[in-house]
Amino acid sequence: MNQLSGAEALVRMLKLHGVDHVFGLCGDTSLPLYDALFRMGHGITHILTRDERSAAYMADAYARVSGRVGVCEGPSGGGATYILPGLVEANESSIPILGITTDISTTSRGRYTLTELDQKALFRPLTKWNQVIDQATDIPRMVRAAFTAMTTGRAGAAHIGLPYDTQKGPVDESEIWADARLGQFPARRTGPDPDAVAAAVDALLSAKSPVIICGGGVVIAGGEAELQRLAELLEAPVAMTVSGHGSIADDHPLAVGVVGSNGGVPETREVVEAADLVVFVGCRAGSVTTERWRYPAPVKTRIVHIDADPAVIGATYPTEAALVGDAKLALAALVRAVESKLVRRNGDARARIAEVKRRKFERFGELARSNEAPIRPERIVADLQAVLPSDAVVVCDPGTPCPYFSAYWQQKTPGRQFISNRAHGALGYSMSAVVGAYYGRPRAKCVAVMGDGSFGFTAGEMETIVRLKVPITMVVVSNGSYGWIKAGQKTGYGARYYSVDFTRTDHAKVAEAFGVKAWRVENPADLKTALAAAVNSNGPTLVDVIAQPLQDAHAPVSEWVA
C-alpha cells in the first residue's frame, strides 16, 4: 500500500476539494508543507503575502466572489495570531475559509519551545470548526470534516493546526478521497419546515405593507431570482444591509437600497417605518441594520425571519413565523406557496420607492457635483461609478468609504459585486481583499477603496500586488485622521478631538516607490480623468484623493445626522 507524508496528504485533499489558490506566508514550521506544495501542488497556486492577516483577507474575498472555499496558511506563533482577524471576520460573515497553521512538533510541547502556544484553545471560540491534528493518519478525515462544516448549514471558517512531525508522518494513500461538492458553498442545502412556510405565507398575505430586509444570506445562497419573484408577487419593497448589497439590482423599482445606521438615510428609513411586517432574510437583525433595534419598531412590527442558523431567529425580535434553512430554498418555497394562492398585489409601493430614491439621490447629486476642495466623498463615489464597467467588484474598507458606497453605489445586476468587512470592521481589509477578489473573478475589474488610516495598516501588500502583476485599482480617501472616530467625537463628545489625527501621507509617492502607477488628486475637476486612467491601466494603480474630513462631511450615518 502506497504511503504519503502528512503534508502530501493535505495537499492531495485540498486538490480533491477543488482548491486552486492558497494565500499565505512562509515559516520554519511550514517547511514540509511548502515542500509538498512544490512537488505535488500542480493546479494549486500559492500566493505569497507579506502578512498573515492579508492572506486571510484575500481568502475571504476570494470565497465571496467565487463561491468556493478560500484557503490561507501561516506558521506557528506570530503567524497563528496574525491570521486570526481574517478567520474571525469570515466566520461571523458566514464565509467559508480554511485557515491552516503549522506548529511545533508534538514532542516539543511543554519544553519552552520557540513559538509554542495552544492553537486549539486560541481558535476554538473564533471558528465554526477547529482541530489541531496530532496524528498524520487523521489528516484526510479531519480535512473532510472541516470542508463539511465550512460549507453546510450556516457557512463559516475552519482551522486546522499541523504540528511539524504530523506533516512528516505516514498516511495511507487509500484514505485520500473527498466529496468535491463540499469545496463550494452552500453545500447540502436544507429547506424550511412546510408548516413554517404556511405560517409565513399567512402572515405575508395578511400584511398591508410588508417590507423585505436582506442580509448577506441571499447572495451567499444565490437566491436573488427567488427574492425578486417574491417581492414582485407581494409588491413588497426590498431593503438590504451592507452585506446584503446585491440581493436585488439597485435599479429594480422595488429596491430601496441599504438601510440602517451605516449607509441608510432618512428616506430609506421611512420605508422601514411604514412597514407593518418585516421579513428578515439571511439577516441577523443586528444593531447596525436596525439602528439599535428601533427600525423596525419592536412589538409594533410583525416579524417573519428566514435564516440558516436557528440561533439567529428570535434573538432580537419576537418572531411570528420562523423559517430555518437555506435562503434560496426558503424563498422558493414562499414563492410557490404565494403563487398557489393566485395572489398578486397591487399597490403604491413602486411609486413610494421611486419618490424615496428621487429625494435621496437629488441630495446626493448636489454634493457629488460640488467643486469644493478638499474633494467631497460623494464626488468620489459618482466619478468612480461613471468610469467603472458594470461588472466591476468594489471592495471598501469599513471607515470613510463604507457608508458612502453602501448608500450610493448603484449595482445594476444582482450578485456579489460589493464587499465590505462588516462583521468586525477591522481597518486594513480592502487592499488585501481586492487581491483575493481578483483571483476569484479575474475577468472583472476589481477596485479597493480605503481611508488613509487603512492604507497604513497594509501598505506592504503593494509589493505583493506588484510582484504578481495584479491589475487592481486602489483609491485612497485621504483626510489625515481616523475619520469615523473623529466624527463620533464631534457628535457625541462636544468636538473634543483626542488622538485621532495623523500626518497626511503622499500615498501616490509611496505607491510609486513600490512600482504602482499612481495619481494624486486635489482638484475635483481632475478626479474623473485620473480614475478613468487608473481603471483602464493594465497594471496595478492607485489614486490618492485629498478628501473632505469625515467629521465635516454629510456621511449617511444616522447617529451623526441625529
CATH code, domain carrying 216: 3.40.50.1220
Q: Residues 374, 520: one domain?
A: yes
Asked whether residue 364 is domain-assigned, the answer is: no
Mean pLDDT of 69-83: 98
Is 440 contained in some domain? yes
Average pLDDT value for residue range 120-147: 98
Look at residue 160 and tell me if it is in a domain.
yes
Number of domains in the chain: 3
Range of the domain at 341: 194-351
Percent of the chain with pLDDT over 70: 99
Helix (H, G, I), strand (E, B) or coil at 277: strand
> Are 402 and 508 found together in one domain?
yes
Residues 543 and 453 occupy one common structural domain? yes
Q: Which residue among 162, 183, 204 closes a domain?
A: 183
Q: Which among 323, 351, 379 is the end of a domain?
A: 351
Judgement on whether residues 424 and 538 belong to the same structural domain of the protein: yes
Whether residue 88 is contained in a domain is answered as yes
Q: What sections of 441-506 are H helices per DSSP?
A: 452-458, 461-467, 483-492
Q: Is residue 422 part of a domain?
A: yes
Pairing of strands 3-5, 170-172: antiparallel
Quick one: cell of 443?
A: 475577468
What mean pLDDT comes out for the span 201-229? 97
What is the pLDDT confidence band of residue 472, given thresholds at 50, 70 and 90?
very high
When pLDDT is averaged across residues 472-500 and rounded to a whole number, the result is 95
Question: What pLDDT is recorded for position 345?
Answer: 73
Can you tell me the distance from the alpha carbon of 425 to that of 276, in angstroms, rounded to the nearest whole number?
32
Answer yes or no: do 165 and 200 share one domain: no
For residues 120 and 200, state if they share a domain: no
* CATH, residue 428: 3.40.50.970
Q: Which of 163, 183, 203 is the last residue of a domain?
A: 183
Residues 415 and 458 in one domain: yes
Same domain assignment for residues 403 and 535:
yes
| Whether 209 and 311 share a structural domain | yes
Domain-located, residue 358: no
Does residue 342 have a pLDDT over 80? no
1: pLDDT confidence band, cut at 50, 70 and 90?
A: low
pLDDT at 192 over 80: yes
The answer to whether position 202 is within a domain reads: yes
- Helices 401-408, 349-368: axis angle to 10 degrees equals 140
Task: Say what the alpha-carbon torsion angle 379, 380, 382, 388 is, to the nearest 10 degrees.
Answer: 160
Q: Are residues 216 and 149 in the same domain?
A: no
Q: Categorize the per-residue pLDDT at 558 as very low, low, confident or very high, splitting at 50, 70 and 90.
A: confident
Does the reported pTM lie above 0.85?
yes
The answer to whether residue 451 sits within a structural domain is yes
Question: Could you identify the residue written with the cell 516539543?
Answer: 108
Are 146 and 208 in a shared domain? no
Do 250 and 308 reside in the same domain of the chain?
yes
